[in-house]
Every structure is written in structure tokens, then in C-alpha cells.
Amino acid sequence: MAYSTEWDLSPLLDGKTVDDNLTELNSLVKSFGTHREKLEGISPKNFKNIVEEYTLITDKMVKVSAYAELLLTTKTDDPERMALSGCLDQFCSEAGNKMRFFSLWWKGLNDVEKYLEVLGSDRYNFEHKRAFAEFTLPEKEENIISIKDSTGVSGLKNVYSILGSNMEYELDGETLTYDQLSKKFKHEDSAVRKRAYQVLFKTIAPFRAAYGEIYSNLVRDMASEAKLRGYKSVLSIRNLQNDLPDKAVEAHLQACRESAPLWQRFLKLKGKALGIEMTRFDIYASLSEGSEEYTYDAAVELTLSALGDFSPNLRKAAEEIYEKKQVHVYPKKGKRGGAFCFGVTPGLPPYLMYNYANTLNDVATVAHETGHGVHSQLGRKHSSLSWGHAIPVAETASTFAEMLLSDHLQRKNPSMRRELLVHQLNDFYATVSRQSFFTLWEIEAHKLLAEGKSIDDVSNAYKELLVEQFGDIAFDDIFKDEWLVVHHFFNWPFYCYGYSFGNLLTLAMFSMYKEEGESFVAKYEEFLSAAQTMSPVDLCAIVGADITKKEFWLKGLKVIEGMIDELESIL
């Protein structure tokens, strides 16, 4: 079957123009404002009606915003698309300000149980909102911050994105985008890998000061707001958003930090498989067996088959995404790098973006993002207020789908076992060790910049953590500036620990599946379908996982150790 490679954004506008959507939203927001004077002593029934109206407006606003954002994603240097995105950012900020009175009223309310009782699966969402009450400012101040962010912080992030998306890299006579260059980091020839990294850092060097200034100001802005609101730290903001106690995150990061020797062992074994002395230039190198190419259509079929082997329900949910042309596949100049799944509203399948290049890693990316899509699809019985996924569990379905793919490929071709083991361990290194060390660096970088330190100091801190992460595996000094091209640091501070959280969680869950077999499938589907209707702790308890205990994280690391043991026996 031939699958569409360009997404259809028209469902986001509901058959209307952008202007017509904004006119309708203006009217809805104005009408919603009339509830301000009716909240005192409101009945539970009328409260529920207001929540439904709020949800409707939110859905419409998210859809038109997504239209502008996804349009810009595929051509970040287009002035008209940039203008539209900026216009929508400002519109949503102003509309949000006009509706903010409702959430502020809710956070300050004393007697809430009678209202919670009528909310159904939205109950947890409203309970969690009240956790932010002590950090919420008066309405006027909240509105000022919102307006400031739409013109300041958002603008800085857009500048960073524009610079990165339009950067061109000259390597061996070719002009490459970042995504095309990053494929060379996996090249079979070590000399090509080294030159690719050297070209990366040489090309961004003239922009180092600009990137550094953008990051410094984003960090200072976040620190100022955290202090203004009374948070203990900037990391605490993310932890509260994730509904995780600080100590749980600290325990997780500590377990990952202590696992550095385990990953050093893997990287050295990979060097042995490659016949080289492992260095930082080589950590993503492909084995020679990985030269087989996979068409995009083949990648989708493999992913659907892997999901279907596990659960027909998961396959059906994934098929709808591809049937409705919700995917943008191939790289092009000006297109944002990487890959993502963009869940807009429960009423629409999510949009997926790839920069597909026919490698096994690209097949895994299709499985990964399709897993995210399935997670969204199974949760769509809930309203958009409870349909999303907190960071601690956001990566479970995606990683689980990758593991199902690996199992499927191995059954089709047992001789791929060594390659697949290396591929999986590569991914887990990148998503467990690397992402946790990213977070450890972010903590240090925010601290240093708060103390008035320079970008050089921030880069040196990154280098020190590289030493701790790699041990006696050599790395070039140029990697101390690697943080400049990690867009999560700029766009989603402290998001990275969600990857290590989610991947270790998934490893434990997958081992449960192997032990329990078919009986695990229903629990897993229930886990995905619950979406964000309960805390991460309660959600993970559905499948028997206790994320509050350090022993749980060690269990996940034990699975990785077993995979490394197996690789060593094969080699």
C-alpha cells in the first residue's frame, strides 16, 4: 500500500478560513466572559456547563493554533507563515487572558467537592490545577506575564528555531540540512562520522554567542518567574506539572547517574563489534549489517504489523492516522528537524512528522511516533482537558511500540539479533543515560547563569558531565558546545528527564508483558486509555508499576544489563 507523504491540515479549520475561525472564537470568548459575575454560589450543574463551554473554546483555539504551527513546521523561513504563527500566538494569549478568571476562581475556591463530583474523568485535571494555587498571581499580573511571554519568550524560541532550521552544512561536497547531517553521525566510516561532527560545530561556531544569549535570557526569564511565584526551583515547576514529588525525580536521576559505568560497558562492546576503539565520534555508528534500506511504505507496514501482533486495537488506532493523511514524511530545506507526534484534540487523529531517510533507525522512528499516536487515539474518549499525557508516561507507548517492532523484525529474521540489540541499546543509551545527564546539566546551567556565570562556564559544566558520563571513553573538546543544538533546552526546559522516566518504565512494563503474556495486553490498553485522568503514580499502578521506589528504576536498569550481557555473549 502506498501511504500519503504530505499531511492534510484542512480538518484543523473546520471548512472555514483562519479569519472566520478567529471571528467565531472572539464571539465565544466574549460570551464566556459573561460568566465572571455568575460564579459566586454557582450550582454544580451550571459549573459543569461552563466547563463544557471552556472545553469547546479550548478545542477550537488549539485547532487553529495547530494549523499555523504545523504550516510553519514545514517551511520555517516563510515570512507569511511566521506572521500567521505570531498572530495566532498573540490571539491565543489575549483570549487566554480574557478567560483566566475561571481558573483563578477555581484555584481560590474553598468548598470544591460538590463540583468535583460532576466532572467525571475531568476530575483529576481540576484537582491537579489546585496544586498550583499557591504559585498563582492575581489576574492582572497573570495577564501581563502571558502577554510578555507571547512577544518575548516565544519570539526568542522562534529565532532559535529559524536559525537552526535554515542552517546549511557543507560536507564532502554536499550541502546538507541538520537532519541530513545527523545521518552521517551513524555512517559506517569513522572518518565520515568525525568530519560530520566537525562540520556541525564549525558551522554553528559563528552563532555561538547568539545561541548563548538566547539561552541565557530564556533561563533568566524562567528563574525570575519562578522566584516571583514562589517556587523552590525551576525544576520544581516541571515536577509539579508532572505531578511528581521532587524527591521522586531526584531518586530517578540518581539511579540513572549511577548507571554510567553500565553504559560505558555497552559502548565499549559496540566498539568491539565495530572493530574500533570507541570514542564520542562513534557512539551512534551503524553496524555494517545496518546498510539495508527500507522504503517509507515498508516502515509503516512493519510498524502496523508489529502493533497488530500485540493487539488488533492498537493496529486499528494506528491505521486511522495514516488513512487520514496526518503525516509529513520527507526532509526539505526550511523544514524543522527531528520527528514528533502532535495531538491536537480528541476529535482528530494526531499529526505525525518525520524526516525519513530509509534507514532502520527511521523505521524505528516511525514506530516511535506511531506509538505516541496510538496513545492519543486510545485516550480520545476523554475531553481535551484530560486527554493528554504527563511527561513521566508520555514516552511509554512510543518506546513500547519500538520494542514490539524489534521483536517483530527478529522473528522475521533471527540473524538480525545482534544488530537489533545494538540498535535498542543505542536508543536506550540516548533516552536513558544521555537524557538524564542532559537534565543534570540543565540543573547546573540554570544554577551557573543565576550566579552570573558566562556561556563558557556553562559549556565547561557540560564538558565535566561528559567526563562523568563516558569515563575513559575519549571525546573531543568540541563536544562541550553540543548543548547549543539540543532544542529541548531552549523550548522545553527540564523535559528531558521524561525520556529516561518513560523508557525505564517501558522496559519494566515490557518485561511484565514477556512474563504475563496475553493477560498483560488488556492492562496495557487500560493504561493507555486512561490518558491523564489520574496521577502518574496511580496510572502506573494499573500495570503493577510503583514509580515511587528506587528499586523500580533499578529493575529497568537490570533489563538493560541483561541486554548488554546478551550482546557480550554474542560478540
Domain membership flag for residue 286: no
How far apart (Å, rounded) are the C-alpha atoms in residues 155 and 563? Answer: 44
In this structure, are strands 351-353 and 340-342 parallel, antiparallel, or unpaired?
Answer: antiparallel
For the chain, the average pLDDT equals 92
Domain membership flag for residue 19: yes
Which residue intervals of 166-276 are DSSP H helices?
A: 178-184, 190-204, 208-229, 234-241, 246-258, 260-274
**Per-residue pLDDT at 288:** 59
Contact 435, 253 (CB under 8 A): no
- 283-318 pLDDT tens trace: 998 775 445 899 999 999 999 999 999 999 999 999
Domain containing residue 83: CATH number: 1.20.140.70
Percent over 90 (pLDDT), the chain: 72
Contact 512, 556 (CB under 8 A): no
How far apart (Å, rounded) are the C-alpha atoms in residues 168 and 119? Answer: 51
Domain membership flag for residue 298: no
How far apart (Å, rounded) are the C-alpha atoms in residues 87 and 65? Answer: 10
Q: At residue 151, does pLDDT exceed 90?
A: no
How far apart (Å, rounded) are the C-alpha atoms in residues 537 and 548? Answer: 7
In this structure, are strands 169-171 and 174-176 parallel, antiparallel, or unpaired?
Answer: antiparallel
Binning pLDDT at 50, 70 and 90, where does residue 537 land? confident
Domain membership flag for residue 383: no
Binning pLDDT at 50, 70 and 90, where does residue 41 land? very high
Domain membership flag for residue 375: no
Identify which has the larger pLDDT, 512 or 63. 63
Domain membership flag for residue 71: yes
How far apart (Å, rounded) are the C-alpha atoms in residues 268 and 283? Answer: 9
Identify which has the larger pLDDT, 515 or 369. 369
Number of domains in the chain: 1
Domain membership flag for residue 274: no
Q: Is the pTM of this model over 0.85?
A: no
Rounded to the nearest 5°, which phi and psi values hold at 284? -105, 15
Least-confidence region, from 16-20, 335-339, 393-397, 415-419: 415-419
User: What's the domain range around 77?
Assistant: 10-151
The mean pLDDT value for 530-539 works out to 92
The mean pLDDT value for 533-558 works out to 85
Domain membership flag for residue 69: yes
Nearest residue to 504 via CA among 364, 400, 381, 348: 400
